[in-house]
């Protein structure tokens, strides 16, 4: 392991608050960690965390800049704003910001309508209604809809920050390895992130012995959220929280050989779901475990199998739908990095207990949603 050094400044940037707790029903077979000195972090993880956080664009700033470019007397759509950011999947997040973010009151939020010209009901309690504001700017309306004679504004000057992140994802996807880098009897840990309060992430780590069905070690870490939820970009929202978490764990004990991540691996539109992205960054074996299928199609074999292969557009098998029993809903398993499809399925099945999710992921999900002790 690299030399452990203090990085208090890196921790302060996200106002880290670390806590350690236990799940009441879990069996902890290792002694609790000894009382530690002020938070320390492995130097390589500190550098990685700094690189990741520097990469993140300030999407709120970019969005408000775009809104300020819409001239009086003109309107645009959520989709056009999202395209100016670099990905149309951002449209739903934009609608949420305009409706709920108090900072949007300082920009012409009312100049954003639906694709068909209808008003989205974004009206805010701190201003006149959207209809009144548009009429004040002499934008013609009929039946709560901008008339077709009004041209939608789309000549935005933008750096397209989400396009840059997509390119970074493509580069990371090229580094994914599906060759097994896993020992014969690996240690396993599940990790998950919850959001107990706006702007706060709570990441949980549960190391689990799949043969004894017992918890070996667990930890939770709180940090600030620096990126919104946008479909296809979950990595940029959750990876900083995971890096803080794993640094905290590694400060007191070795990380598990394999990380089971609540999220997709290579079953992702760009082949780089959060499990794959995290695995590439850490160069450590990871497996994605998701309750939703983001990409690929089931290979129907006409039977009632507990494991159904999932193929990508290239017809290559990239994962599987896996059930604990035939009565359960499936989960979608795919390798992240340093792991083959077959080994990912085997390790997930080995980790099953009685829940739909493999036990370490189930316990990490539960722990991440636990109330943090004072």
Q: What is the mean pLDDT of the chain?
A: 86
Residue with the bigger pLDDT between 289 and 232: it is 289
Query: Which of 89-93, 133-137, 305-309 shows the lowest mean pLDDT across its residues?
Result: 305-309
Write down the pLDDT at residue 126. Answer: 67
Res 13 pLDDT > 60: no
pLDDT band (50, 70, 90) for residue 15: very low
In tens, the pLDDT along 41-57 reads 445 877 888 888 888 99
Cβ neighbours for 123, distance < 8 A, ≥ 6 positions apart:
129, 130, 131
Rounded CA gap, 90 and 236, in Å?
Answer: 14
Write down the pLDDT at residue 137. Answer: 94
Res 23 pLDDT > 60: no
Structure tokens at 307: 């494991």
Query: In whole angstroms, how large is the CA radius of gyration of the chain?
Result: 23
According to CATH, what is the number of the domain 4-55+180-368?
3.30.2170.10
SS3 151: coil
What percent of the chain has a predicted confidence (pLDDT) above 90?
Answer: 68
Q: State mean pLDDT over 245-272.
A: 94
Rounded CA gap, 179 and 341, in Å?
Answer: 9
Report the run of H or E that residue 197 belongs to, with start and end: strand 188-197
CATH 3.30.2170.10 range(s) for the chain read 4-55+180-368
Write down the pLDDT at residue 14. Answer: 41
53 strand-pairing partners: none
Res 62 pLDDT > 60: yes
CA angle 261, 312, 80 (to 5 degrees): 80
Rounded CA gap, 207 and 259, in Å?
Answer: 9
Res 97 pLDDT > 80: yes
Q: Sign of the C-alpha dihedral, residues 354, 357, 358, 359?
A: negative
In tens, the pLDDT along 154-188 reads 999 999 999 999 999 999 999 999 999 999 999 99
Q: State mean pLDDT over 136-142.
A: 93
Q: State mean pLDDT over 256-263.
A: 97
Alpha-helical (H) ranges within 77-233 are 78-85, 91-100, 130-136, 161-173
Write down the pLDDT at residue 43. Answer: 53
Q: Sign of the C-alpha dihedral, residues 144, 149, 154, 155?
A: negative
Rounded CA gap, 260 and 339, in Å?
Answer: 11
Rounded CA gap, 370 and 84, in Å?
Answer: 39
What percent of the chain has a predicted confidence (pLDDT) above 70?
Answer: 85
pLDDT band (50, 70, 90) for residue 345: very high
Rounded CA gap, 356 and 287, in Å?
Answer: 16
Q: State mean pLDDT over 202-221.
A: 96
Task: State how beta strands 214-224 and 188-197 pair.
Answer: unpaired
Write down the pLDDT at residue 38. Answer: 36
Res 282 pLDDT > 60: yes
The answer to whether 226 and 243 have CB atoms below 8 angstroms apart is: no
In tens, the pLDDT along 355-364 reads 999 999 999 9
Write down the pLDDT at residue 173. Answer: 95
pTM for the whole thing? Answer: 0.83
Res 4 pLDDT > 90: no
Rounded CA gap, 254 and 226, in Å?
Answer: 27
Domain 70-156 CATH assignment equals 3.40.47.10: no
Query: Which of 59-73, 119-133, 139-153, 158-172 shows the lowest mean pLDDT across its residues?
Result: 119-133
């Amino acid at each position: 392991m690299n030399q452990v050094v203090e990085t208090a400044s890196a921790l302060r940037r996200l106002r880290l608050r670390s806590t350690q707790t236990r799940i009441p029903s879990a069996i902890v077979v290792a002694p609790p960690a000894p009382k530690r000195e002020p938070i320390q972090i492995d130097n390589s993880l500190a550098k990685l965390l700094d690189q990741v956080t520097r990469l993140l664009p300030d999407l709120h700033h970019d969005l408000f800049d775009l809104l300020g470019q819409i001239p009086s007397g003109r309107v645009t759509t959520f989709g056009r704003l999202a395209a100016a950011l670099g990905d149309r999947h951002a449209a739903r997040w934009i609608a949420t910001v305009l409706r709920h973010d108090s900072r949007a009151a300082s920009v012409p939020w009312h100049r954003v309508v639906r694709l068909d010209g209808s008003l989205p009901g974004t009206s805010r309690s701190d201003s006149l209604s959207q209809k009144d504001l548009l009429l004040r700017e002499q934008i013609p309306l009929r039946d709560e809809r901008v008339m077709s004679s009004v041209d939608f504004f789309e000549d935005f000057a933008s750096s397209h920050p989400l396009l840059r992140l997509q390119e970074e994802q493509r580069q990371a996807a090229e580094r994914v390895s599906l060759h097994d880098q896993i020992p014969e009897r690996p240690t396993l840990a599940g990790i998950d992130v919850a959001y107990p309060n706006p702007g706060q992430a709570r990441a949980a780590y549960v190391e689990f012995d799949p043969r004894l069905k017992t918890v070996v070690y667990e930890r939770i870490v709180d940090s600030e959220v620096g990126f919104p939820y946008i479909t296809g970009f979950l990595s940029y929202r959750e990876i900083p929280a995971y890096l803080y978490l794993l640094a905290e764990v590694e400060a007191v004990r070795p990380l598990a050989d394999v990380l089971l991540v609540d999220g997709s691996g290579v079953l992702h539109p760009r082949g780089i779901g959060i499990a794959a992205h995290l695995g590439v960054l850490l160069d450590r074996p990871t497996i994605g475990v998701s309750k939703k299928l983001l990409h690929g199609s089931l290979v129907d074999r006409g039977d009632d199998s507990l494991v159904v292969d999932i193929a990508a557009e290239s017809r290559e098998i990239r994962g599987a739908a896996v059930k604990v029993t035939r009565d359960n809903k499936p989960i979608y398993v795919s390798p992240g990095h340093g792991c083959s499809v077959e080994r990912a399925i085997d390790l997930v099945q080995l980790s099953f207990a009685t829940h739909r999710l493999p036990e370490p992921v189930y316990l990490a999900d539960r722990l991440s949603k636990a109330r943090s002790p004072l």
